[in-house]
Amino acid sequence: MIEQTFIMVKPDGLQRALVGEIIRRFENKGLKLVGLKLLALDRKMAEIHYEQLKDKPFFSSLLDFITSNPVVAMVWEADNAVYIGRKLVGPTRPNEADPGTIRGDFCINTQFNVIHASDSVENAKREIAIFFAPSELVRYERSIMHWLGLDL
Ligand code: UDP
Ligand code: MG
């Protein structure tokens, strides 16, 4: 089933100039980019995004981190986009993330783990609605032959 997933390059990913690398991995895999923005989260927005973690000991530290610098918010679309997104990103703890995943390749620290990916279709819908107005999700067709000028 076609799904959308919410992907966010965290402040450490932006500072480390990993935005292009991360977008490349999602493009290479074949997902379709339907929403993209650079923004600074305010604390309220960060609290809503991470509301399911509000009782965790690391919650306030996580909010400090995620609001400390801008992030890049994206929506990617594909069959099973949520599952594929988590696979590309890897597990939460970078020392459990295999090489070949984004976290496995680029991080050491659990908080500074470069990227967020929705963990369920339901959470993806909730997270997308926090970051994007419906009009900011762009509908378009992709066709390689046309854009190579080969369908003439
Ligand atoms: N986090 C942390 N310490 C922990 C677990 C998580 O700082 O022990 C941070 C980390 O940045 C993680 C985020 O909190 O990505 C959200 O946690 P979650 O369990 O939802 O992990 P994710 O879904 O991002 O893999
Ligand atoms: Mg999560």
User: Of 30, 16, 37, which Cα lies nearest the Cα of 103?
Assistant: 16
Q: Is residue 91 part of a domain?
A: yes
Q: How far apart are CA 23 and CA 21, in angstroms?
A: 6
Q: Is residue 150 part of a domain?
A: no
Residues with Cβ within 5 Å of ion ligand 2? 119
Number of domains in the chain: 1
Report the SS3 class of residue 32. Answer: strand
Q: Which residue range(s) make up the domain with 31?
A: 2-145
CA-CA-CA-CA torsion sign (75, 79, 81, 87): negative
* pTM of this structure: 0.97
Q: Which of 3, 94, 116, 117 is catalytic?
A: 116
Phi, psi of 37 (to 5 degrees): -155, 150
The percentage of the chain sitting over the pLDDT mark of 70, rounded to a whole number, equals 100
Residue 25 has a CB neighbour count (10 Å cut-off) of 18
CB 19 within 8 A of CB 73: no
CATH number of the CATH domain containing 8: 3.30.70.141
Nearest-atom index, ligand 1, CA of 119: 23
Pocket of ligand 1 contains residue 24 by CB under 6 Å = no
Q: Is residue 100 part of a domain?
A: yes
pLDDT tens-digit series, residues 56-99: 999 999 999 999 999 999 999 999 999 999 999 999 998 999 99
Element (H, E) at 79: strand 71-79
So what's the pLDDT on residue 11? 98
pLDDT tens-digit series, residues 130-140: 999 999 999 99
Q: Is residue 105 part of a domain?
A: yes
Q: Is residue 86 part of a domain?
A: yes
pLDDT > 90? residue 19: yes
